[in-house]
Structure 1
Amino acid sequence: MSQPSCPNAEMYLAVLSALPDAVVVVDLGGALLFCNAAAEALLPGGIAGLGGSGISPDYQVLDPQQRPLAASELPLNRVLAGQRLHNKELILAVGQPSQTYWVACSGRLCSGMAMLTLRDISAAKQQEASLVQQAFYDPLTGLPNRHSFIDCLDQALVCAQSDPQRVMALLVIDLERFKLINDNLGHQVGDEMLVELGARLQSLVGSQGTVARLGGDEFAIFLDNLTTQASVIDLAETIHAAVQQPFLLQQQQVYANASIGVAFGAEAYQSAFDWLRDADAAMDQIKAYPHLGWQVFDSSLRVQQDLRLQTEVDLRQALDRGELRLHYQPIVTISNEEICGFEALVRWQHPTRGLLMPGEFIHIAEASGLIIPLGWWVLTEACRQMQVWTEQHPAMAEFTVSVNMSSKQFSQPHIVEKIQKILSDTGFVANRLKIELTEGVLIDHSDSIIATLQQIKALGIKLLVDDFGTGYSSLSYLHRFPFDCLKIDRSFIENADQDFEKLEILQSVVRLAWNLGLDVVAEGVETPRHHAQLKALRCELGQGYLFSRPLAPAAVEAMMAEKTTHLSDLPTVTRPT
């Protein structure tokens, strides 16, 4: 690009004046020689605020932490002292009340003058702050997110290495039944609840810790420089009580509960993820003991957690390897003790741990979602086996089979069609199938499930409420849902002959079932006294160890063969003609 032979000073001044960046030129004494229009607009009152001479300006120069600069640190003074500046980020606080601008300052000495440029980077810094907010903060609650919280824990671990006596704690908080609130009251109410919970936690923790939202309905708190571990327990109890206080959301009171896992640290941990894992393990323990509210992690929980993870891995393989088994517990008519059906109960023939009962793996299947394929396998196998027995043993032609279905299965699409296909594929008739649902299923799907249950019942399948009396609002569900039978939980049968209150409840449930036209099955019948009492109450059906333990298929076949032999050995009665 060619240069004019005789540069025109006016041309250069015109170019400088038109630049969008502020340009300031001073002599070595700090007196102003030139400033362009952008500088005049950005620096009301002159250049004295930058370190040059002149009257007191209407702005102040701050560092990136919004602290006023000392005179020697002002950008023009630094250039006059011989320093070079290159895109030094500073803040201009202009006017009262002040409006702030981010500027990038560059400057140097040149030909006996000092030149300084200031570029307004406020828009870029605002965008940067927005990206930081998105990357490190939860958009709903404004709390630090999981990524930011992990950074916080990592920094704490570094501090713990140099100060191992420092008392720190990590709390993980999970809302109970939050999905139910979301589904029944709407996601807007759920979001408002999370915002309110975040505010409550911040109010309780204050400046002594960091509150974060890890995702969903899970929050976490990091506490540092604690005086004692007991103070953490006090805080956990306070938080638990605070969560139980009603949330006023869209003019209605909503109630919730929380599980709180506590892990002290951090000298025992190498990574933030390990620390979180242990706090989660403590929190998961509360699922089995909901009355606890909070739980402190110890090494035995880590063993349980490792076993739980290994069990989940093995269970996934068990479905593919055919390791699941069904055992069948007879259901008898109370009046004559004759078998009229079975309940299908799943077992797991583990390759190294032996035969596992449902209590050792069903909760893991529920938490992992494996309960869905497991549940469909149970229904298919029960129908298949019953059809085989029907063809082999005519005496079983009227026997029914009861199968439990999980809440998660009812979250799946086309559930009625799947049941129909299983019946079609196995040849088992619908009116001999009974599907058992816990009251928890009804709570989780209270609005959506009614039509589904009606469609299932229209197939001829009977519907049972399992563990009746242990859930919520039992009586209201009996009126709303199309049930055929109640299964009385074993807790009402145990010691009913010695506990007058239990006996009263038992009588009331049986009477209620009669009035509603429902059958009653009593679980946990284990003694002759239980049997006699149920017989006196005119309870129709029962199951329990008094009649039979759950039987493997081979044991059922042996029992039926024995009955058939016994019947064939009876003398034939010839009627007189």
Structure 2
Amino acid sequence: MTSSPGDAPDLLDVLRPLLSAAGIPEGLLRQVLTTAQSAAPDAPTAEETLRETLGALSELHRHLESLKTERDELRESFDLASQFQVVLTPHGRLLDLNDTTVQATRTTRADLLDRPLWDAPWWPRDPDSRAALRSAVAQAGRGEGASLKLPARGREGRPVVLALQFTPVQRAGQVVRVIVEGREITGQVEAVREAHLARAALEALLENVQDGIVACDAEGKLTVFNRMSREMHGLDRAEIDPSQWSRHYDLFEVDGVTPLTQERVPLYRALRGELVQGTEMVIAPRGLARRTVVASGGPLTGPGGQALGAVVAMHDITDRKHAESRLRHEALHDRLTGLPNRSLLHSLLEKTMQRFEREPNNPYAVMFLDLDDFKNVNDLYGHLTGDRLLLETAARLKDAVRKTDTVARLGGDEFAVLLDAPCDEVNALRVAERLQRAMARPFRLQRDEVRVSTSIGLANARRAYTRTEEPLRDADTAMYVAKRRGKNRTVLFEQSMHDQAQERVDTERQLRDALRDGQFRLHYQPIMELAPGRCVGFEALVRWQHPARGLLGPGAFLEVAERTGLIVPLGAWVLREASRQLLEWQTDPQLAHLLVSVNLSGQQLQVEAGGEHDLLAMTFPEGLHLEITETSLVDTPEAMRTMRALHRRGVPLMLDDFGTGFASLAAAQRFPVDTLKIDRSFVAPLPGDGDDRHSAIVASVVTLARHMSMRVVAEGIETPEQARAVQDLGCRFAQGFLFARPADAEVAAAFARAHA
């Protein structure tokens, strides 16, 4: 197919878009077409060549369109990428940058191009950041990749942290471009920072917590050993390599003696998967004080159940253990002397009795000791000095017994000694003798030498004893027998003593019944004025109308009443009954002049004010006299208060049994008494048969009483000669069997009428 020159313009119109897309000048194509036609206008090969050329150009156009589209897509991806992306020259100048990077600044792309990367507006202006950027660019310019983390400004000036990657682009071995990609890692940095803070906080917590915390990984390597753990193990004072720690301490079971094997170490048990709870152990650092700790912990596992290691917490309970030990010691030992107390003595005695049951040939013995008249020491020197005496007593007793024996304090001035096997009766008495010798030495109290004797009761082992109370009871019984026999002696228990003690217990029970059932009676012994032979009054004496034993005198029950405290309600009953009888007699003109005296116990003087049997709460009729035996006088605030109050109320007080106490004259002066009653022991020897000592004593008492404006009554007059003797010595009043024996109220009234 041929074409004429006239067809060329049409062809040119067709090719014009292609020429423009390909960048071929239109004039150049016109020249080619003209040349082709003029050279061979009729040659078919020229047209074909032209068409082939046009086909190639068309294919080129399509390829170029495809490349443009691909370029535009790449550019769009480049601009829309969330990462910061820039293209640099090998020397660091900006050739291109994506929209994400441009939008992070307040300028245009044109303002940024051709600027050095380190001068871009999104970097901090500090020299270190600029130097780091220069160094990274230089490294990439040499063909080596580089990485860098820098703070920067993101969109709207928000501070961010970028992780920059510098990648060199090379052609023919030369770096022609450097691609820089920036990925924001602000969240990761913050997370890492928070993780570091959390770890630092956890480490600070572990270091400052008051419990020891230890942990290890799955291989058993220690990962946590906090400050308190190091202190517990004695590792806090020196820089010691962890691998050497175990050489500086020992671990024991809670008894502090049995070594703790590895299988028993709490952390090892937890690593094996065991849950450890409340395990006590003792840590013994070399050269330091031991620590007792209670450990709890268990294995550590990951989310998937994989073993990560183990952790154990240790709480120091050393102080608590010491406190418990002190409490146990205080519970079993006397606070003052440190000796075993009653509880510990019972425990030791129980073991000794069990051994004796197995081995009858190894007997034991029990002693019960009581200091004689210890109360006098407290009254004279005070309780602090009394306590020092008890301490010295404890030391002497311990020194006097064998090492296998036990000295215990039961309370007050009572001690006990357990003589451990073998200790038969002979050996027990030898120990008692040593104790008596030790106590016979004088005590130094406030510059004075004071002698305090000891009464000892001794009970030897018996097969009949089945309870610890029994040998202690019998030793106590024997001790009281020693007291009654004059003190300062040792008495070996005999069965008859128990029978007598049982009788006293029965008497106590019957006394309580007698008080409740009104079994007591009053008998009256006359008090005579010697010269006219006139009855001036009576001493009221209590009798017990026992339902089985008949009428009992005071010797059958007063000791038990005193010892049990029943003397207080009994004395109150006597006072009420004597007052009632006196008021009844006072209605009779022949008997209105009579007085009635009633004996008081020292315990009655010490009844608490306002108590049920307080003497000061009672009303006494005129003519009622109160007798106080010298041996029962107690120099206590309560007793003195009561006596002086009675004296101020006008109640006459008599000092009975005068001359038998240890300080008769002092008692007569100190206590507000109106009448002295001379004890029968001074009257019985009269008239003397040439020995005038007793006469002199009676005369002295009468003279003393006259000077102190007191009356004197001589007791125990049984013969006319005694009556004349005391009368000759100046004594106006007397009483005794010579005049009448005690009788009931009716007989007494008849006697008074007959001797008016």
Alignment CA distance shift 1:353-1:73 (3 Å): farther
Instruction: Give the stretch that moved more between structures: 535-544 or 454-463.
Output: 454-463
Q: Match for residue 548 of structure 1? A: 740
Q: Distance in 2 between matches of 1:563 and 1:337?
A: 7
Q: Match for residue 399 of structure 2? A: 203
Give the TM-score of the pair, scaled to structure 2.
0.63
State the shift of 1:358 in Å: 0.9
Q: Match for residue 593 of structure 2? A: 398
Partner SS, residue 269 of structure 1 = coil
State the shift of 1:44 in Å: 3.5
Q: Match for residue 439 of structure 1? A: 630
Residue deviations 1:453-503 (CA, integer Å, cap 9, x gap): 343233333222111111112112222233222111112222342555444
Partner SS, residue 487 of structure 2 = coil
Counterpart pick for 2:726 among 531, 534, 542: 534
Residue deviations 1:56-94 (CA, integer Å, cap 9, x gap): 8344445655547498999599979x9988755443343
Instruction: Give the stretch that moved more between structures: 475-484 or 170-179.
Output: 170-179
Residue deviations 1:175-234 (CA, integer Å, cap 9, x gap): 344445445544433433333333332233352322222223322221111343233223
Q: Distance in 1 between matches of 2:218 and 2:358?
A: 52
Q: Distance in 1 between matches of 2:228 and 2:454?
A: 57
State the shift of 1:535 in Å: 2.8
The answer (yes or no) to whether the contact 1:26–1:115 under 8 Å persists in 2 is no
Q: What stretches of structure 2 of length at least 5 have no aligned partner?
A: 1-194, 237-241, 301-306
State yes or no: 1:477 paired with 2:667: yes
Partner SS, residue 129 of structure 1 = helix
Show the 5 A alignment for 1:135-214.
135-182=331-378, 185-205=381-401, 207-214=403-410
State yes or no: 1:327 paired with 2:488: no
Alignment CA distance shift 1:248-1:92 (3 Å): farther
Q: Match for residue 361 of structure 1? A: 557
Counterpart pick for 2:656 among 452, 463, 466: 466
How much is the aligned-residue C-alpha RMSD, in angstroms? 3.9
Q: Distance in 2 between matches of 1:77 and 1:493?
A: 92
Q: Distance in 2 between matches of 1:117 and 1:305?
A: 62
- Count how many residue pairs are aligned between Structure 1 and Structure 2: 542
State the shift of 1:22 in Å: 5.0
Q: Match for residue 214 of structure 2? A: 23
State the shift of 1:258 in Å: 3.5
Q: Which has the larger radius of gyration?
A: 2
Q: Distance in 2 between matches of 1:527 and 1:342?
A: 19
Alignment CA distance shift 1:17-1:338 (3 Å): closer
Alignment CA distance shift 1:167-1:59 (3 Å): same
Q: Match for residue 518 of structure 1? A: 710
Show the 5 A alignment for 1:285-300.
285-291=481-487, 293-300=489-496
Alignment CA distance shift 1:205-1:94 (3 Å): farther
State yes or no: 1:42 paired with 2:237: no
Residue deviations 1:386-442 (CA, integer Å, cap 9, x gap): 2212323x232222211111111111226998457432xxxx31xx22211122343
State the shift of 1:544 in Å: 1.4
State the shift of 1:300 in Å: 0.9
Instruction: Give the stretch that moved more between structures: 261-270 or 413-422.
Output: 413-422
| Corresponding letter in the other structure for 1:517 | S
Q: Distance in 2 between matches of 1:469 and 1:292?
A: 23
Q: What stretches of structure 1 of length at least 5 have no aligned partner?
A: 1-7, 47-51, 565-577
The answer (yes or no) to whether the contact 1:75–1:105 under 8 Å persists in 2 is no
Q: Match for residue 408 of structure 1? A: 603
Partner SS, residue 214 of structure 1 = strand
Instruction: Give the stretch that moved more between structures: 158-167 or 283-292.
Output: 283-292
Give the number of the structure with larger relative contact order, counting CA–CA contacts within 8 Å between residues 6 or more apart: 1
State the shift of 1:266 in Å: 4.9
| Corresponding letter in the other structure for 1:300 | S
The answer (yes or no) to whether the contact 2:459–2:475 under 8 Å persists in 1 is yes
Partner SS, residue 627 of structure 2 = strand
Q: Match for residue 567 of structure 1? A: none
The answer (yes or no) to whether the contact 1:525–1:543 under 8 Å persists in 2 is yes
Alignment CA distance shift 1:405-1:396 (3 Å): same
Q: Distance in 2 between matches of 1:165 and 1:106?
A: 52
The answer (yes or no) to whether the contact 1:31–1:53 under 8 Å persists in 2 is no
The answer (yes or no) to whether the contact 1:157–1:266 under 8 Å persists in 2 is no
Counterpart pick for 1:279 among 459, 475, 483: 475
Q: Match for residue 285 of structure 2? A: 94
Alignment CA distance shift 1:504-1:69 (3 Å): farther
Q: Distance in 2 between matches of 1:231 and 1:64?
A: 41
State the shift of 1:109 in Å: 11
Counterpart pick for 1:422 among 590, 608, 619: 619
Q: Distance in 1 between matches of 2:494 and 2:334?
A: 30
Q: Distance in 2 between matches of 1:260 and 1:271?
A: 21
The answer (yes or no) to whether the contact 1:61–1:74 under 8 Å persists in 2 is no
Give the TM-score of the pair, scaled to structure 1.
0.81
Alignment CA distance shift 1:284-1:483 (3 Å): same
| Corresponding letter in the other structure for 1:482 | P
Q: Distance in 2 between matches of 1:115 and 1:267?
A: 59
Alignment CA distance shift 1:203-1:93 (3 Å): farther
Q: Match for residue 228 of structure 1? A: 424
Partner SS, residue 144 of structure 1 = coil
Instruction: Give the stretch that moved more between structures: 102-111 or 163-172.
Output: 102-111
Partner SS, residue 458 of structure 2 = strand
Partner SS, residue 548 of structure 2 = coil
| Corresponding letter in the other structure for 1:411 | Q
Residue deviations 1:298-333 (CA, integer Å, cap 9, x gap): 111111111111111111121121111111111112
Partner SS, residue 730 of structure 2 = coil
Q: Distance in 1 between matches of 2:415 and 2:596?
A: 44
Instruction: Give the stretch that moved more between structures: 183-192 or 360-369.
Output: 183-192
State the shift of 1:33 in Å: 7.9
Q: Distance in 1 between matches of 2:505 and 2:753?
A: 42
Show the 5 A alignment for 1:212-251.
212-243=408-439, 245-249=441-445
Q: Distance in 2 between matches of 1:26 and 1:471?
A: 87
Q: Distance in 1 between matches of 2:267 and 2:431?
A: 52
